Amino acid sequence: MGKQYLQRMNNLRRLLERLREWLFGQPQPANLKLRIFEQNVYTMVNNICLSTDMKTLYLIDDGRAISFPLDQRSGILIGTLRGQLTAATAFELPKTMEADAEMTTSPGSTTLVMSATKDKELVRLSTRKTAWSAVFHPGRMQLSLVGATEVEIRQADEEPVDYKADIVSFNLKENTLNIRRVGETMLVRCLPNQIEKE
């Protein structure tokens, strides 16, 4: 039974090859050059992920996911240590961030998806209609937060919307970030690595 099956399949294959030749002509010999590329092996660096409900930050480190709740009063510190991304629970809330929380929860606070001060010292990210993702570029020592609406509702005959995701980037070579969630807003404050003497 096995030999008959193989013979039938070979006959079918030959028939299909002849049909292809009859329809499309003889296949041309490929004139392809073999190119050899140098491949570099990189060590995977740590990364940060945010949960879809935007309530938990995860540090992905060597096969582990270490979770940090974003609603902690003191926030989460994000920085680098020898080129690797690190995260830790903040010991205390910086004095400047106490006022930030009051501005965020007060009536008339921003309803934008993202707002930032000119120098990006303080960034407010709305979690109401947007999910945020984190991307770390180890060469530039830069952490970027990218926001995109999860669902776009439109009628079938409508023109597609030219959508542009919100993105904000932070220099971790010179700064440590304090990130925390207050209500429906994530507050991200840049803290300089050099502590100024008073």
Global confidence as pTM: 0.65
Each residue of 25-61: pLDDT tens digit? Answer: 776 665 656 566 666 666 667 899 999 889 999 999 8
Span 137-173, pLDDT tens digits: 888 999 999 887 655 556 667 676 666 677 888 999 9
- Which of 152, 112, 104, 117 lies closest to 128, judged by CA? 112
**CA distances (Å), origin 128, targets 28, 61, 73, 186, 196:** 58, 29, 20, 10, 36
For the chain, give the percent of residues with pLDDT over 70: 67
DSSP, collapsed to helix, strand or coil, labels residue 181 as strand
CA-wise closest residue to 95 among 171, 197, 189, 198:
189
φ, ψ for residue 23 (rounded to 5)?
Answer: -75, -45
Percentage of the chain lying above the pLDDT 90 cut = 23
pLDDT at position 177 is 93
State the maximum Cα–Cα separation within the chain, in Å, rounded to a whole number.
91
Residue 88 and residue 169 in contact, taking contact as beta carbons nearer than 8 Å = no
Q: What pLDDT is recorded for position 126? A: 87
